[in-house]
Amino acid sequence: MADHAFPPRKDFLVPSSQAAVLAGLGSWLPPRVVGNEEIAQRLDTSDEWIRTRTGIAERRVVDPGTSTVDLAVEAGRRALASAGETEADAVVLATSTADQLCPASAPQVATKLGLNGVAAFDVNAVCSGFIYGLATGAGLIAAGIARRVLVIGADAFTSLVDPEDRGTVPIFGDGAGAVLLRAGDAGELGAIGAFDLHSEGELAELLWVEAGGAKNRRSDDPRDHYLVMQGQTVFRHACARMAESARAVLNSAGWMVGDIDRFIGHQANIRILQTCAKQLGLAADVMYSNIEKVGNTSAASIPIALADAVKDGTLQPGHRVVMGAFGAGLTWGSTLLRWPDVIPG
């Protein structure tokens, strides 16, 4: 193994009271666009059926040879550029489609970004992964372990989908989004506020890939290596849990539902977002969605939606923003912030 001269550790190991502030934002989608008509040509479905039940018109799909690491590197590079930075002290990669079962993909991402020697690890909370990743990054900063943390949500989730399953093929897409968190003051725009995180492992089989792990490494049934989803049951849990979690972080921050300018939820299904908004009593224009163009990109969906919302002018500096997600595990969670003045990379 070659010797590497890593930079000396900086003096940031003393526990800190500083908040984690969102300082940079980036996203990346693979170039290949797959529209509903292309799916309808090979599966028993239609553009109308897909749009009515999911709100999705098209999604991006990785080309052969493009991996989760590739997606994450591009989004991470853009987030660093957005913040005007070239360095970070840690990389947290939220993904459930790591390039290999072992090792984690984050160290490879860090190296490809030129962040040699920094802490780097994966977080797997599936579609809730970005919220969990933000909490992890904020914790590293609060503990004084890091002053800048690159949090990336990236998934090539189409690799887990049975190409013959009309219930999952139309839903999922691939992509990556990232934010750079820096140590700052809790009163700043961009300071990440309270978190609310939960799980319910007894319901894991509602949304899972049975084979491939240590328990069932090699199944003879090819279907065991693809995602299985009990859609209607997942729908009910997702709506209820996302709304409950949003109320919890609002209560922690002392905000009212009427204070929310934008709710950026995990882009799983337009009906889930609409039902969650109704349960919370949100105005129709508060719940943001870009699912029509990108589909469900799992851990990448929230940062991609944040970048799109800034680009189209929906998200403005000073807006009070709640972010919430629900995913396999089951896992769910929320956080909030007042939006900073950032230009997505």
Alpha-carbon separation of residue 246 from 213, 241, 265 (angstroms):
33, 9, 10
DSSP state of 317: T
Q: Is the peptide bond before 7 cis (omega within 30 degrees of 0)?
A: no
Q: What single-letter DSSP state applies at residue 164?
A: T
The token duo for 60 is 């991006």
Helix, strand, or coil (residue 262): strand
- The backbone torsions φ and ψ at residue 195, rounded to the nearest 5 degrees and listed phi first, read -120, 150
Report the DSSP pairing between strands 148-156 and 207-208: unpaired
Residues contacting 22, CB < 8 A, separation 6+? 179, 180, 181, 190, 191, 192, 337, 340, 342
Q: Checking DSSP bridges between strand 320-327 and strand 331-338, what pairing results, if any?
A: antiparallel
The answer, yes or no, to whether the previous bond of 206 is cis (omega within 30 of 0) is no
Catalytic positions are: 127, 266, 296
Three-state DSSP class for 168? coil
Cβ(113)–Cβ(175) below 8 Å: no
Give the containing element (helix H, strand E) for 273.
helix 270-280
Look at the block and give the residue holding tokens 């912030």: 337
Spatial distance between the Cα atoms of 179 and 175, rounded to a whole number of angstroms: 14
